[in-house]
Structure 1
């Protein structure tokens, strides 16, 4: 009897232990999927000194800690980055490539949003992940007047809504005439739209004042010497159950959907991204900024360096043309001069970032300008310090488009958007080994079948195991 009771108790204990293990196992498995650790690599956080043999701890897509003597949770998935370099994911500050088409047929559409035109399956996103770009400012193209509201999106996701990091990041304006319109009429129409918006805003202010409830002093003026109400109809309205203006304010003072973006632009709530194709466009752009009080970033064509003197001393950041280095012939002397845009703008004290040519710009004669890291490497070749070039790929564009609290550097609390390089940044022989977005590995070079087919076309694909 005693032995039987002991066996039953032992079986009960084993059953409880097994139940406890089964209860814990799902939690451990889920936790392992949520936690990631990158160790052994050289970490370049952008905001501080590089960390050799560093560790990055990630949980739920967010960076938890960065350092050397960190305890890695036993349930975390570990990526060994020994001999490699870890950087924040690259940020592209201006690109229409994620969109189904870069421009609307109508050049005046400030009310549209690019989120409705982002194609998650676009080849651009695959190329972006392959080249370490984790966030992009998706924005209408340059053949427009008021092109619509832009958005910052991650370069990985199933649906466009899931990829959005920041909605309504800016409003695209362009001084390049659309269609057969002349520059003069294009600029006149652009100013007319802005002036009409100012008048519209003034009318909204008037309506808002009319809708304001009367102050106590005004109410006192409406009463007789003995405090009796001046108008009997007020009593009738109360008897009918009518509500005062204070209880149900009018919506007339709010901008309609067609004008909302323009109103926010002139209030300084929505920054302008203003494209100048030629040097003659630059003074007009600066006058627009000053006359209408716009907060703006300038996207400059390659010819705009001739107006660089107008930009010196101003606060507007500049996104350079994809063709950073080219030759120009002086029409008077017939002498060929090499133009190096990064050097010219840096010498003038103008803050710059880079953009890529993209597949839509057929004028690009080489592959280099289509790669964001190549743009920074070109700037380094012509005198830009390496630290500044890496910042111009990461934190500077993130700050420019208003997402630097989420991405652009490796810091606790920021999104775990990272790129692991096979060697030193901006070197020709360096490859992107892995790209991580929100703590998930979205690209691995060893799994890149397209790249293998390009580099080793005669190699037979390995049989599945």
Structure 2
């Protein structure tokens, strides 16, 4: 009997050790020396580097050196992209499918839902996210839908992650607000006056909670406020640590979003959609340092001057420099984010600002630009090797690195 137990324990120990070894291998972050023909760093100096080597270790970019004369230390695996462009992974700032959902995430009950957190649904190795990776998207903001005026908080999801800890880059990552263009249909039907009234009442309560805690932490008051889960995440909103993603489109509604949510409540805003004639509010956005994350509609027929225009391009032409794009997945799949850029450029936007909108600008508004969005030493190694210009439909993704690991290779099975 004793021998049987010892044999059983030995087999069990071997099995546990094998599983632990397999998990360790899966979580390992190899060292790479990536030979790149052209690197668009997307940094503040707008540097484009030709014929360089990007050294990657422990999930981070170590250094970038000219390829000529460079020595590759032992332990680094060479990845040859001498004929390719390397860019930061694209960032989709508006997704409802960055989880296992097959369609839109519409999980709410009331006209305002302050306690809901979509970030809790972020998962790893899902169909949607793997398809996104093949399209060059390595990060997405997962948010609830727009069927109510305040549908809850979103979370920033890392595609290609191996654990939930890696996948959840930040949660909460934003507050989702919709001021018109869907919530009217909730329950028995609403008008804009009632929607704005009800939303304002919710935000007033949330701001009071934030103010009580701010005063306590600053020593203005001595009594510790009671914790309330419904309002706790709003401390990040009113502290301007995370933005509000505002489903708002036409000029009048976009203007109201800025005067109400920014001016009255002091929120950090990104206009999420900003289509049709929304660009006419560009002067207000510039003054308030508001971002416009345009999509899924990227072109608009202006019946006044009878022209077809790029929605993002019109914001840019009006002077706003903080412009990005989204897919509103599942309106469009996340992997179509590059197509959003392609069409925006086709209808009048400039190529380099459009690339910024999918990388650096997107990372800035989400507050994660210290980690992703540009290629520089110390940043996360979320890198995509393209066969050429991402906005040229003849180009495709050759290889994707997420947190320093290879998570997609077209040589195995090209999807796009």
TM-score normalised according to structure 2 size: 0.81
Q: Could you tell me which of 19, 23, 35 is aligned with 2:31?
A: 35
Please give the alpha-carbon distance, in whole angstroms, between the structure 2 residues aligned to 1:181 and 1:406.
41
| Residues 410 and 265 (structure 1), Cα distance of their counterparts in 2 relative to 1, 3 Å cut | closer
- 3-state SS of the aligned residue for 2:82? coil
5+ residue gaps, structure 1, are 1-28, 213-249, 452-465
> 1:58 aligns to what?
56
> 1:169 aligns to what?
173
Q: Could you tell me which of 418, 435, 440 is aligned with 2:383?
A: 418
Question: 46-55 or 264-273: which moved more?
Answer: 264-273
- 3-state SS of the aligned residue for 1:391? helix
> 1:156 aligns to what?
160
- 3-state SS of the aligned residue for 1:302? coil
| Residues 132 and 380 (structure 1), Cα distance of their counterparts in 2 relative to 1, 3 Å cut | same
5+ residue gaps, structure 2, are 1-24
- 3-state SS of the aligned residue for 1:344? helix
Please give the alpha-carbon distance, in whole angstroms, between the structure 2 residues aligned to 1:188 and 1:373.
38
How far did 1:104 drift? 2.0
| Residues 116 and 375 (structure 1), Cα distance of their counterparts in 2 relative to 1, 3 Å cut | same
Whether contact under 8 Å (1:418, 1:435) holds in the other structure is: yes
The structure number with the bigger radius of gyration is 1
Large movers: runs of 4+ above 4 Å: 199-211
1:19-418 to 2 correspondences below 5 Å: 34-47=30-43, 48-68=46-66, 69-99=69-99, 100=101, 101-106=104-109, 107-176=111-180, 177=183, 179=186, 180-200=189-209, 212=222, 251=224, 253-288=225-260, 289-305=262-278, 307-308=280-281, 311=284, 313-314=286-287, 315-329=289-303, 336-350=306-320, 351-358=322-329, 360-361=330-331, 371-418=336-383
How far did 1:173 drift? 1.2
Per-residue CA deviation, residues 24-58 of structure 1 (Å, 9 max, x unaligned), is xxxxx99x963111115222212243222210111
Whether contact under 8 Å (1:282, 1:307) holds in the other structure is: no
| Residues 379 and 424 (structure 1), Cα distance of their counterparts in 2 relative to 1, 3 Å cut | same
1:417-456 to 2 correspondences below 5 Å: 417-448=382-413
Please give the alpha-carbon distance, in whole angstroms, between the structure 1 residues aligned to 2:303 and 2:257.
26
How far did 1:121 drift? 4.4
> 1:11 aligns to what?
none
Whether contact under 8 Å (1:204, 1:255) holds in the other structure is: no
- The structure with the largest strand share of the pair is 2
TM-score normalised according to structure 1 size: 0.73
Whether contact under 8 Å (1:174, 1:276) holds in the other structure is: yes
